[in-house]
Amino acid sequence: MNNIAIIEATRLLETHPDYKVIRRIVQRTEFPDSGERILSVGVVVDTETTGIQPDKDAIIELGMVMFEFDPQTGEIFRILESFDQLEDPGFSIPPESTAIHGITDDMVQGQQIDDDLVADFLEGVNLVIAHNSRFDRVFLEKRLPVFESLPWGCSLVQVDWRGEGIASAKLDYIAYQYGFFFEAHRAEEDCFALLEILQQRLPKSGESVLKSILNELGQKSYQIFAIGSPFETKDLLKSRGYRWDADKKCWHITVSGDEAIKAEVNWLKKQVYADKKARVEIEVKNCLIRFSNRIGNRAVRDI
């Protein structure tokens, strides 16, 4: 089938209510004119690793794509540069990891990420975004401390995908919902896919995906530890999204914004502690340490 026939068949399918056409993502070369706007510089990052435990596993590939954006509207105007390097972890890559990303021991043998090149790439960057920053930031700060000084956003948790009618927050599923696909689980390819998603409009709010993240950037995050919560409230806490911390032996949740922390403390006081005297520990983080393993400001307060 020639290209003209494919184009005609595609148009026919697109007009039929029983079909949806999914296209392979193609890197954009044309963007709107930014005019006289003052733009910021962002970087989308993605890592491939030997596993999921930062204390045991290591980065084996780092991908980055740099772009210009309007911090007021979230519009993206130009791709500036991209980066992709492999690294030998110094031990054999587990087969179950290779099965995900396809990176083998032979591919990384003798390879090393250039720290100076990474530092130069990040010079002047205003924002780093990953699709699961809790994973990528911890690995990157351990291997490349230059990432510690940058503000981070997260397209996984700082966009209300479910509320927008998108049932899964997996990157390839979101891409599918917007009508394209890509070869997932290689760092640079995932970065370009995420950058395409950042430019899309959310189905219900109509806001761009990047703007949704920017709205959360200046908000403080509050991690609340429900100290001494009654055992019989564990199911209630779990159903609300609290997670068990084995070290601190208590349930905790993270909320964003001053109004959210007030509402959550009030809910704990009434629903969990039944208006009895109680204490909670609250840790405050901003975008400079959010999603990292570094500790924010902590305080115990009576409620």
**99: phi then psi, degrees, rounded to nearest 5:** -60, -25
**188 CB-near residues (< 8 Å, 6+ apart):** 46, 63, 64, 65, 82, 83, 84
Cα Rg of the chain (Å, integer): 22
Class of domain 3-217: alpha beta
**Residue in 94, 107, 82, 5 with CA at minimum distance from that of residue 50:** 94
**Residue in 225, 299, 211 with CA at minimum distance from that of residue 255:** 225
CA–CA separation, 143 and 266 (whole Å): 40
pLDDT of residue 125: 98
pLDDT 10s digits, 213-225? 999 999 999 999 9
pLDDT 10s digits, 87-132? 999 999 999 999 999 999 999 999 999 999 999 999 999 999 999 9
Q: Which residue has the tokens 């995932």?
A: 190
CA–CA separation, 136 and 171 (whole Å): 14
pLDDT 10s digits, 40-77? 999 999 999 999 999 999 999 999 999 999 999 999 99
Q: Which residue has the tokens 């003209």?
A: 4
Tokens of 164: 């927008």
pLDDT 10s digits, 158-184? 999 999 999 999 999 999 999 999 887
Write down the pTM of the prediction: 0.87
Q: CA quadruple 179, 183, 189, 190: dihedral positive or negative?
A: positive
DSSP state of 201: B
- 1 pLDDT more than 70: no
CA 34 → CA 69, 145, 219, 249, distances in Å?
Answer: 9, 33, 27, 52
CA–CA separation, 44 and 84 (whole Å): 12
Q: Which residue has the tokens 């629903």?
A: 271
Pairing state between β 297-302 and 279-285: antiparallel
Q: DSSP states of 123-159 as a string?
A: TT--EEEETTHHHHHHHHHHH-GGGGGS-EEETTTSS
CA–CA separation, 33 and 201 (whole Å): 19
CA–CA separation, 88 and 109 (whole Å): 5
pLDDT 10s digits, 260-294? 999 999 999 999 999 999 999 999 999 999 999 99
pLDDT of residue 17: 78
At 144, which amino acid appears? L
Q: Are 165 and 203 within 8 A, CB to CB?
A: yes
Topology adopted by domain 221-302: Alpha-Beta Plaits (3.30.70)
CA–CA separation, 71 and 139 (whole Å): 27
**77: phi then psi, degrees, rounded to nearest 5:** -115, -25
Q: What is the number of other CB atoms lying within 10 angstroms of the CB of residue 183?
A: 12
Domain assignments of the chain as residue spans, ordered by start:
3-217, 221-302
SS3 assignment, position 84: strand
Tokens of 61: 């590939």
